[in-house]
Amino acid sequence: MESLDLKVLADALHWRRANHAATLVTVVETWGSAPRPPGALLAVRDDGLVSGSVSGGCVEDDLIARTRARLQSVNGAAPVLERPTMISYGVSKDEAAHFGIPCGGTLRLLQEPLLDSNWIEQLLTRTAAHELVARTLTLSSGAVLLAGALRGQGLVFDGLTLTTVFGPKWRLLLIGAGQLSQTVAQIAVLLDFEVLVCDPREEYAATLAAGVPVARHVEGMPDDVVRQMVPDAHTAIVALTHDPKLDDMALIEALRSQAFYVGALGSRRNQQLRKERLIEHFDLTVEEMGRLHGPVGLAIGAKMPAEIAVSIVAEIVQARNSTPSAVSTADGRSGQFLRG
């Protein structure tokens, strides 16, 4: 399962490759209780097929009708709509009520024809390589420019250009491929994480491949794997083997990285012993050890493996949604909108 906005772009790219005309609709501004934040995407194909959402279903039917009336494709020819145009919904109380926008909310949307899909392919390639990418659209010409982005950079619209930022997928590295890891992986995939699992024990790795095909097994020792993946602020790392020889080495590298979440399985007693051991023998600082979530997971009284897995993933999501780079995927109300 891909992140919503990147999936919209992937679908649009697939349509264009199949000689369908398509438009891309971006939420530019909202007022009131608009159901989708600025930066949210919707792609509409010439036959009315859609991917994504800009209103949670309130205005999509009207957008589809508009698109089918104006967007025509004959054997892959260019659509009638040639330049980006602005569309507003909910300007008046009557219109807001007509389209079902709650609490008199207003949406300003930018609709653009996808005449050139090369930029989509480039953007998807760069985000798959864990890059932050800023996309700038010039309204007068429809030209698109891609550039590297800075973390925390937000959506900017000045009436002439629209810049949106697309981030890489959130990823979760699990150390250990046992039953608990398999359950955590299954839940995390549903929540849009790319799940990687490292376990040098061959018997566990084989079980993972059979039980959780959506997770990708990464070969190597845990500490080497953590270093090689270069964890960033879109990465969570959780040690679940219960074997200090494997968990501790991964945690040493993880706690020194930019990973937004680092957790380890174990009781409070074991966690205290672990912290003392890592500080004394591996020169980790008190500040670095303070980043460790342990015992891992939210305190929900979990006992069964599935319950423990829920508590672990819930704490990771809580941490993800509290980071600056997660503002747009969480609620989009602060003025910083980082897509992806």
Q: Tens digits of per-residue pLDDT, 251-305?
A: 999 999 999 999 999 889 988 888 888 888 888 888 898 899 989 999 999 989 9
Residue 307's Cα: distance from chain center in Å? 24
For the four alpha carbons of 114, 116, 117 and 120, in that order, the dihedral sign comes to: negative
How would you classify the pairing of strands 106-113 and 85-89?
antiparallel
Domain boundaries defined on the chain: 4-131, 170-321
What pLDDT sits at residue 140?
A: 92
Task: List, in sequence order, every residue forming a beta bridge with 162; answer none if it has no partner.
Answer: 137, 157
CA–chain centroid gap for 248, Å, is 28
- The 3-state DSSP class for residue 3 equals coil
Q: Which residue has the tokens 């957008």?
A: 63
Parallel/antiparallel/unpaired status of strands 193-198 and 216-217: parallel
Helix (H, G, I), strand (E, B) or coil at 208: helix
Instruction: Read off the tokens for 154.
Output: 């937000």
Residue pLDDT tens, the chain, 340 long: 357 788 899 999 999 999 998 999 999 987 665 567 788 899 999 888 999 888 766 677 888 887 777 765 444 454 455 789 998 886 555 555 555 555 456 788 999 999 889 999 999 999 988 888 999 999 999 999 999 988 777 889 999 999 999 988 889 999 998 889 999 999 998 888 989 999 998 777 667 666 666 788 899 999 999 999 999 888 999 999 988 889 999 999 999 999 999 999 988 998 888 888 888 888 888 889 889 998 999 999 998 999 999 999 999 999 998 865 544 333 333 333 344 4
Query: Which ranges of 19-113 would DSSP assign to H, the alpha helix?
Result: 60-70, 93-99
- Supply 57's token pair: 């279903």
Judge residue 256's burial from the number of C-beta atoms within 10 Å of its C-beta, 0-12 exposed, 13-18 middle, 19 or more buried: middle
Picking from 195, 188, 223, the residue whose alpha carbon sits closest to that of residue 209 is: 195
Q: What CATH class is the domain 170-321?
A: alpha beta
Is-contact 298 318, C-beta < 8 A? yes
Please enumerate in sequence order all residues whose Cβ is within 8 A of that of 301, keeping only pairs 6 or more positions apart, or say none. Answer: 307
Predicted pLDDT at 101: 53
φ, ψ of residue 117 to 5 degrees: the values are -100, 5
The pair of structure tokens assigned to 41 is 């995407």
